[in-house]
Amino acid sequence: MNSISRAVHKPVLTLVALLFLLGGCIQQASQQEEFRLPISINEAMASLINHSADPIWVAAWKNSRSDEDWRELEHLARQLQVGGALITIPGTGPVYTMWTGRTEWVEYAEELSAAAGRAVNAARSKDVELIARAGELS
Ligand code: HEM
């Protein structure tokens, strides 16, 4: 390669590399913007949050429980914990972006995850008293 062709090639290659990097960044940003749950918040509430929370409420006043029951409660509490994080992501329908974009919404969802985290610990220690107190505000 002579010096003229080298002088032309270097800036061209640098430009191509920069465009490549920029393309990657733009693609990543648009992927983040578009990420949504494949279901509505209402469906997440009914199928995930409420479905896992109900047996935890019941457990607070039901006394005799086998090891298997406690393991099931731990799984349900984990589902509730991750459910709290999931409802901070918009679901299907335009209105959900408005909800999930609110600070109070995210704070309520975080409270829910924190309470569920306490329920996980209570189930691991097989402690009915702690299960009952898991929902108290931290
Ligand atoms: C253990 C805690 C919770 C339980 C048991 C629960 C349960 C439910 C249930 C049963 C529904 C009705 C679903 C239906 O229409 O069939 C619902 C709806 C709803 N929940 Fe929750 N929820 C909880 C926590 C939260 C939190 C933390 C938020 C906000 C961050 C929230 C926001 C909403 C909203 C906005 C709706 C209406 C959704 C719609 O109509 O599209 N919930 N929830």
Q: Answer yes or no: is 59 within a domain.
A: yes
| pLDDT at residue 17, as a whole number | 61
pLDDT computed for residue 22 by the predictor = 53
Judge if 83 and 99 occupy the same domain: yes
More confident residue, 9 or 52: 52
Residues within a 6 A CB radius of ligand 1:
40-42, 45-46, 49-50, 53, 87, 105, 108-109, 112
Read off the amino acid at residue 116. A
Q: Dihedral sign for Cα 67, 69, 74, 79, please.
A: positive
Element (H, E) at 107: helix 103-124
Same-domain check for residues 5 and 73 = no
Mean pLDDT of 94-119: 93
Rounded distance from Cα 69 to ligand 1 centre (Å)? 25
Whether 21 and 84 map to the same domain: the answer is no
Instruction: Report whether pLDDT(76) > 90.
Output: yes
Question: Which is more confident, 69 or 21?
Answer: 69
- Which pLDDT belongs to residue 74? 96
How confident is the model over 18-66, as pLDDT tens digits? 555 555 555 555 555 668 999 999 999 999 999 999 999 888 777 668 9
Give CA–CA dist 53/116, Å, rounded.
9
Whether residue 71 lies inside any domain: the answer is yes
**What one-character DSSP code corresponds to residue 87?**
T
The reply to whether 29 and 64 lie within a common domain is no
Count: domains in the chain: 2
Q: Do 63 and 92 reside in the same domain of the chain? A: yes
Q: Establish if 57 belongs to a structural domain.
A: yes
Structure token pair of residue 102: 């609110």
* Ligand 1 pocket mutation pick from 43, 45, 47, 102 by most atoms within 8 angstroms of CB: 45
Distance CA 5, CA 128 (A): 78
Give the structural domain span for 11: 1-35
Same-domain check for residues 62 and 81: yes
Percent residues over pLDDT 90 in the chain: 58
Do 109 and 85 share a structural domain?
yes
Q: 111 with 99: CB under 8 angstroms?
A: no
Q: CA torsion sign, 100 to 89 to 137 to 128?
A: positive
138 falls within a domain: no
What local confidence, expressed as pLDDT, does residue 80 receive? Answer: 98
Do 11 and 29 share a structural domain? yes
43 and 26, same structural domain? no
pTM for the model stands at 0.78
